[in-house]
Amino acid sequence: MPSDSDVGLEDEFENVKQWAKDNKMMLNIIKTKEIVFRRPNPRLSLHPSPLPHIEQVKVAKLLGVVLSERLHFDDHVFAVLKVCSQRMYLLKLLRAQGLPVTQLNAVFQALILNKIRYAIPAWSGFLSVHLVSQVNGLLKRCYKYGYCLKINTLEEVIESANYKLFRSLQNPQHCLHTLLPPTKPRSHDLRPKGHNYQIPNYSTELHKRSFIPHSLFQYY
């Protein structure tokens, strides 16, 4: 919370610019955007003044993921669906040229599924039922038109990606390993469990739906 911080926003931005300079990086002020993440309840929202010469936006794209100020991912899903719909036209042309379905399936995996999979552990926990159905509708059309060998579902894609990443970050060398809670000691043999990490208490549903808290509960 800004009210709980002893560092002002402008001072923190100066630290960012200094860090970039120290690390031989150039910060492009023209392309720099400021986004203020807010609580879902508008009465609890804070509206700080924008930084000088920095545009304050409600939606921003970071490393290919579209973030909104209220941590809803509608804009990201719509952007993904738009790109996938455009790529389906390429699959249509390849099918018309006589490319066998096995080869079409390989192109489908590379162009459609990989686009949906990109960074999916970061945003999949915040999807509404409507957004899930939109993606599943596109995947069903891909199967209907003969672009893939089976009907893929978003739920399967999410489960596979989340499980793989959660197992990977349990390696102490993984860059996200430090985000895991401490392990709890076992004094006697119990039934096998998915992991030995402590299950923290989370005060908000939004936090609980993020990747690591969700995985701790899902794979316990």
Q: Is the pLDDT of residue 35 over 90?
A: no
Which residues on neighbouring strands pair with residue 132, listed in sequence order? Answer: none
What pLDDT is recorded for position 152?
Answer: 95
* Contact present, 85 and 138 (Cβ < 8 Å): yes
| Per-residue model confidence as pLDDT tens digits over 67-121 | 988 888 999 999 999 999 999 999 999 999 999 999 999 999 999 999 999 999 9
Residues with Cβ within 8 Å of 83's Cβ and at least 6 positions away in sequence, in order, are 115
* Global model pTM greater than 0.75: yes
CB-based contacts of 96-102 (< 8 A; 24+ apart in sequence): 101/146, 101/147, 101/148, 101/149, 102/149
158, burial (CB in 10 Å: exposed 0-12, middle 13-18, buried 19+): buried
pLDDT confidence of residue 32: 86
